[in-house]
Chain A
Amino acid sequence: MKGHTGHHDAPAHAGHDHSDRFYWIVAGVLAVVTALEVGLFIVNEQHLIAKWIEVALLLILSTIKGAAVVMFFMHLKGDAGIFKFVFLVPLAFATTLLLTFMLLFSEHVGIAG
C-alpha cells in the first residue's frame, strides 16, 4: 500500500482506553445541547420569553457546540499554534463581517434594496 512506511508510530495516546469513551461523552453533550436548542425553539413558539433572549440563548448553545467540535473532534485544543492562527483569525474576521453587516442592514432594506 502506497504510503506505508513499515514504521508504526508509537503515539503518546497508546493505552488511552478511555479515548473512545471520551468522544462518546462529547457526542452525548452535543446531542443534549441540540435538544435544548430545538426545545427552546419549540417552546418559545408560544412567545414565553423575549425573542432577543431566545436568540442569545441559541447563539450561546451553538457556540458551545461549535467549540466542542473544534476543540475535541478536530483536536485544535492543544494542537500547534499555527493551526489555531490560520483558523481562528479567519473565524474572527468572518464573525466581524457578519456582525457589521447585520448592524448596517438589519430591519431595513438599506442599499441592498
Chain B
Amino acid sequence: MSDLTTSPHTATTHATSLGVDSRKLGVWAFIGSETLFFATLITTYFVFAPVNRARSDFQDPRAFLDIELTTVLASILLASSLTMVLALAASRRGDRRHFTLWLLATVGLGLAFIGGQAYEFSHLYHEGLTLSSSLFGTTFFVLTGFHGTHVAIGVIWLLSTFFKVRSYPDSPENAMDVEIAGLYWHFVDLVWVAIFVLIYLI
C-alpha cells in the first residue's frame, strides 16, 4: 500500500473479501467506466474531424480555440490536484487547519476552472461556434461540456466531503471519504490532461 493510502483494516465496515475498502474499489471501478465514457467522446471528436472538414458548414478548430486561456485552465486543474493531495496528507496527519486550507483551495480552483470554461464557451458562442453550428461545434461542446459538468460535480462532492469530515478529518472513515473524493478529482484532472493535448494542441 502506498504511504497515503487509507488502510482497509481501519474501516472494517466497508471491508471486502479482496482486502480492500468497498467504497474505494467502487470509485476505482467508476473511474474505469468513466475512462471509457470519455474515450468514446474523444474518439467521436476525431472520427468526425475529417467529416467536419468535408462539409459545407466546416469550422476550423484552429480558428476558434484559444491556447492561452486553455493553458491557464490546464494549470488551474493541475494546481488543484496538488492542493487535493496536500489536503489528503493533512487529513491523515490530523492537521485540520491545513486540511481546511488545501481542500477549500481545491474547491476554489475548481470554481475558477468552471468560470474560465464558461468564459470560453461564451466567447466561442459569440464567435459563431455553437452546439449546432458544425460537427466540430457539436463534438467539441459535448466533450468539454461533459468534462466541465464533471468538474462541477467534483466541486459539490468536495464541499460535501469537507462539511462531513471537517471536525475529524483524520478518523479512518473520514480519511477514506477524503481519499475517494480526491480520486475522482484527480481523474477529472487526468481527463483534462488528455483533452488539452488531443483537442487543443494536436
Given A4-B174, A79-B1, A109-B54, is A11 in contact with B7 using a C-beta cutoff of 8 Å?
yes
CB proximity of A32 to chain B, nearest CB, Å: 11
Q: Say yes or no: A87 contacts B175, CB within 8 Å.
A: no
Chain A residue numbers with a CB within 8 Å of B171 are 1, 3-9
Q: A102 vs B25: C-alpha distance in the bound complex, in angstroms? A: 32
A residues within 8 A CB of B197? 37, 58-59, 61-62
Contact between A41 and B201, CB atoms less than 8 A apart: yes
Question: In the docked arrangement, what's the CA distance between A94 and B194, Å?
Answer: 12
Chain B residues contacting A109 (CB-CB under 8 Å) are 50-51, 54
**Number of contacts between A and B (CB, 8 Å)?**
196
Interface residues of A, dominant DSSP:
helix
Given contact pairs A4-B174, A86-B29, A87-B32, A65 touches B186 in the complex (Cβ within 8 A): no
- A41–B67 CB distance below 8 A: yes
A4 to B174, CA, bound (A): 7
Given known A-B contacts A4-B167, A113-B51, A19 and B187 have beta carbons under 8 A apart:
no
B143 to chain A, nearest CB (A): 13
Sorting the interface of chain B by its residue count into under 10, 10 to 19, 20 to 34 or 35 or more gives: 35 or more
Is B94's CB under 8 angstroms from A101's CB?
Answer: no
Q: How far is the CA of A50 from the CA of B120 in the complex (A)?
A: 30
Could you tell me if B201 and A37 are in contact, using CB atoms closer than 8 angstroms?
A: yes
* B51/A90 in contact, CB under 8 A: no
Q: Which residues in window 7-22 of A have CB below 8 A to B?
A: 7-9, 11-14, 16, 19-20
Is A106's beta carbon under 8 Å from chain B?
A: yes
Task: Assess whether A83 is in contact with B28, with CB atoms less than 8 Å apart.
Answer: yes
CB of B46 within 8 A of CB of A106, answer: yes
A87 vs B27: C-alpha distance in the bound complex, in angstroms?
A: 10
Q: Does B10 contact A (CB under 8 A)?
A: yes
Measured CB to CB, the nearest residue on chain B to A100 is: B43
Whether B48 is near chain A, meaning CB under 8 Å from some CB there, is yes
Complex CA distance for A79 and B7, rounded to whole angstroms: 10
Residues of B within 8 A of A49 (CB): none
Which of A61, A69, A83, A108 is B24 in contact with, Cβ under 8 Å? A83
**Contacts A/B (CB < 8 Å), 7 sampled:** A19-B4, A20-B86, A31-B78, A55-B202, A94-B39, A101-B43, A105-B50
Which residues of A line the B interface, CB within 8 A? 1-9, 11-14, 16, 19-20, 23-24, 26-27, 30-31, 34, 37-38, 41-42, 55, 58-59, 61-62, 65-66, 69-70, 72-80, 82-83, 86-87, 89-91, 93-95, 97-98, 101-102, 105-110, 112-113
